[in-house]
Structure 1
Amino acid sequence: MKPAEGSTVIGKSVIIRGDISGSEDLFMDGEIEGTITLTESRLTIGPNARVRADVNVQDVIVFGRVEGNVKASGRLELRQSASVVGDIQAGRLSIEESASLRGRVELTEPVQRPATLNIR
């Protein structure tokens, strides 16, 4: 799997203990223990990733394993190889066949982005 163009990439051999925050899209394929906060960005948790963290993002796509609570103001996608142990709060949720989820799910109203007005 290839990360989206323009994403920051954390490779599968990287181990992080601490907090990650930012305003760029992130492709995480390593291991993290702590928190991930990307409230205006997309997080992709790759197939090799092992995340033991609370996650607060705009959108998230999970291919790997997550242990912790996940809050997505937009869309959360659990792909076939995904495994999530923790509570989920999201505007929209998509779960593919064979994905694993153990926890509570709360679907909220998606955050509406302000429309761009072109006034002439």
Structure 2
Amino acid sequence: MKPAEGSTVIGKSVIIRGELSGSEDLFMDGEIEGTITLTDSRLTVGPNARIHADINVQDVIVFGTIEGNVKATGRLELRQSASVTGDIQAGRLSIEESASLRGRVELTGASTVTPVARPVSS
């Protein structure tokens, strides 16, 4: 799998402990313990990634492993090889067959129903 063009890439041999934040798309294929904050960007969790962190992003695509809570203001995609242990809060959620999810899910998208005006018949 190739990272999206223009993404910052963190390779599979890199280990980060602490807080990771930024304002550009990130392809993470290494290991991180701590927090990830990319409120206006997309995080792609590569197939080799092992993330032990709370995540706050706009969009996230998961191929690897996450242990921690995930908050995505946009879309969260769990691909076939994904494994997530933790609570999820997202605007939209997509889960492929064979993906693993253990935790609570809260969808924050437009779930309110707008009443439709109906004509009154006499």
Correspondence list, 1:1-120, <5 A: 1-109=1-109
Output the amino acid matched with 2:90: A
| One-letter amino acid matched to 1:40 | D
Q: Find the aligned partners of 1:109 and 1:6 in 2 and give their Cα distance.
A: 28
- Output the CA distance in 2 between the equivalents of 1:3 and 1:34: 23
Identity fraction in percent: 88
Following the alignment from structure 2 to structure 1, what is the Cα–Cα distance between the partners of residues 22 and 66?
Answer: 19
Q: Provide the rounded CA distance (Å) in 2 between the counterparts of 1:2 and 1:34.
A: 25
Letter in 2 for 1:61: I
List gaps (5 residues or longer) in structure 2. 111-122
Which whole-Å deviations, capped at 9, do the CAs of 1:80-118 have from their partners, x for residues lacking one?
A: 0000000000000000000000000000026xxxxxxxx
Runs of 4+, deviation exceeding 4 Å: none
Residues in 1 aligned to 2:45 and 2:2: alpha-carbon distance in whole angstroms: 12
Q: For 2:98 and 2:37, locate their aligned partners in 1 and report how far apart those are by CA, in whole Å.
A: 27
What RMSD, in angstroms, separates the aligned Cα atoms of the two structures? 0.7
2:82 and 2:19 map into 1 onto residues whose CA distance is 22
Amino acid of the residue matched to residue 66 of structure 2? V
- List runs of 5+ in structure 1 lacking aligned partners: 111-120
Q: Could you state the TM-score of these two structures normalised by the residue count of structure 2?
A: 0.89
AA matched with 1:65: T
CA distance in 2, matches of 1:103, 1:81: 17
SS in 2 for 1:98: coil
Question: C-alpha separation between the residues in 2 aligned to 1:109 and 1:91?
Answer: 4
Deviations 1:44-71 (A, max 9, x none): 0000000000000000000000000000
1:117 paired residue number = none
Q: Secondary structure at the match of 1:81?
A: coil
